[in-house]
Amino acid sequence: MALNVDPALVESATTGDPSLERLIVAVWPEAFRLAASILRDRSLAEDVAQEACATMARSLRTLKDVRTFSSWFYRIVTNHAMSAGRRLRPTVPIDAAAECGTRFDSSDALDLYNALATLPIDQRAAIVLHYYGGLKSSEIAAALGVAAPTVRFRIMLARRALAKALAIPSDTPNEVLSHVR
């Protein structure tokens, strides 16, 4: 589900009034879920979400168009998560996976969760933003700071790798990837 924040709240928060606190409260759950989906570590995801919200608060006045807030905020969270993931390469026992905010419907979802962990972090971020965040490639490109064709290429590579890891036909990963949410 894409981040849905009232542009009036974002606009009001740019002035530094108490709306900033309401904005942070509104975006925190999504920041945490996105970070947890990328990092697979609850504690680290909390730290990353907190850092992302602090960065958002410091940088909000630089946002030129409040309508682009969602992509801009996803970029902040994703950049923090990818940086943390590159530094630490965390792992989580599979029985702790549910604590990270990811829902599982079957053992297939657990396999998918483990397969996601094998992806390079840039592919994992793209696939999570696409399937979990429901973002289009242009929005993911804005969030990751890369070109839309690069995003589509990363998603294609990730889907192929996941299909291979899960031993499913390469033309059916959308059904299996619905479990990313």
Q: What is the pLDDT of residue 118?
A: 86
Measured CA to CA, the distance from residue 42 to residue 108 in angstroms comes to 21
d(CA 85, CA 69): 24
Nearest by Cα to 7 from 64, 93, 68: 68
- State residue 99's pLDDT score: 43
* Span 146-173, average pLDDT: 82
Q: What is the pLDDT of residue 14?
A: 86
14 DSSP 8-state letter: T
Question: In the structure encoding, which two tokens stand for residue 3, read together?
Answer: 């981040």
Q: What percent of the chain has pLDDT over 90?
A: 25
Please state, in angstroms and rounded to a whole number, the distance separating the CA atoms of residues 112 and 116.
Answer: 6
Confidence of residue 180 (pLDDT cuts 50, 70, 90): very low
pLDDT digits (tens, 9 = 90+) for 8-27: 999 889 876 788 989 999 99
The per-residue pLDDT for 154 is 92
**Which pLDDT belongs to residue 174?**
58
Phi, psi of 167 (to 5 degrees): 55, 50
Rounded Cα distance, 178 and 143, in Å: 21
pLDDT value at position 53?
Answer: 94
**Measuring CA to CA, which residue among 139, 121, 122 is closest to residue 130?**
139
Provide the pLDDT for residue 45. 92
- Prediction pTM value: 0.68
CA distance 145 to 136: 14
Number of neighbours of residue 57 by Cβ within 10 angstroms: 15
69-99 confidence digits (pLDDT tens) = 988 899 999 999 988 887 764 344 333 334 4
Question: What per-residue confidence (pLDDT) applies to 37?
Answer: 86
pLDDT tens across 105-157, in order? 455 566 777 788 888 988 999 998 888 778 888 888 888 888 999 999 999 99
Q: Which residue has the higher pLDDT, 3 or 118?
A: 118
| CA geometry: angle 77, 24, 96, nearest 5 deg | 55
CB 133 within 8 A of CB 2: yes
